[in-house]
Amino acid sequence: MTKHSHFRDAAFILAGILSVGFGLKGFLLSSQFIDGGVTGVSMLLASQTPLPLAVGIVLINLPFIWLGYRQIGRAFAIKSTLGIAGLSACLAFVPFPDVTPDLLLTALFGGFFIGAGIGLSMRGGAVLDGTEVAALVISRNVPTMKVSDVILLLNVFIFGAAAFFLTIELALYSMITYFAASKTIDYIIHGIEEYTAILIVSERYLAIREKVSENGWGVTILKGAQGYGKRGDRDQPVDVLYVVVTRLEISRLRTTILEIDETAFLIQYPVDDVLGGQIKSLPLH
């Protein structure tokens, strides 16, 4: 990695630490709300025992850092260790104001800042919450469970414990916090634009390819073979066009295609992220 990459990763992790610290101390702690994952477990323990949150976050995350070292790599473990230690120091020494007593605003914006911080740290190659690592390890050893299933199951236990040890009302507000945080993480990791892939099957694929390219979109030709359709069984080779666009441009691309071939067969599905290639179209004149 270059010095520029190291500096960028460090900036992401530092911004993530400050954002999570602000979400916790500026919103959640004064209202006794908790988040999901390891952070939520640490907050629950801090509310029920003399263990300080700054210490609990480090102690509970240590096993997950070790798992990350074994499963993902040394660089990830080092960055995560520094990130979690930095978050602990932030919680212990950085003063943040208590922003609002409103419970709904606390849940929403506390979750937003925590999610933004976790997402930024992940962009920098580290985690501030070991839940993702635990879910990855469990899903690898239990093929019937996906990472999302494991995270959901863990959080069911966490919020169930919150309802038991705190109150049902605080547990419900904490769930709002978690949903706000998870949605914000998705935006930070996968991007606000949310890319969409579109497969185009048409006998007029050459004209469609030309028009798509004129508009500035990148297009890839996939070699395939026709199967069963409206005209019955057809065993003929076919060229399938593959285009990735932002969600704001889906309608424009579909209109462009259907103007050339109203019978074109289109398939679209979400794409988590893209790197390189020509995604955005040329501006309209």
At 230 the pLDDT is: 65
Q: Which residues contact 47 (CB under 8 A, 6 or more apart)?
A: 32, 34, 165, 166
Each of the 285 residues of the chain gets a pLDDT tens digit; together they read 566 778 888 999 999 999 999 999 999 998 989 888 888 899 999 988 999 999 999 999 998 888 888 877 888 889 999 999 999 999 999 999 999 999 999 999 999 999 999 889 988 888 888 887 877 677 667 767 665 667 778 888 889 998 998 899 999 999 999 899 888 887 887 665 567 899 999 888 899 999 988 888 888 888 877 766 666 566 677 889 999 887 768 888 888 899 999 989 899 888 766 666 666 655 555
pLDDT confidence of residue 275: 66
Edge-to-edge order in the sheet of strand 220-225: 220-225, 237-246, 195-201, 265-270
- What pLDDT score does 183 carry? 85
Name all domains of the chain by residue range, CATH numbers in brackets: 3-190 (no CATH), 195-270 (3.30.70.120)
H or E, element range at 221: strand 220-225
Instruction: Enter the tokens of residue 272.
Output: 């988590």
CA atoms of 141 and 278, how far apart (whole Å): 38
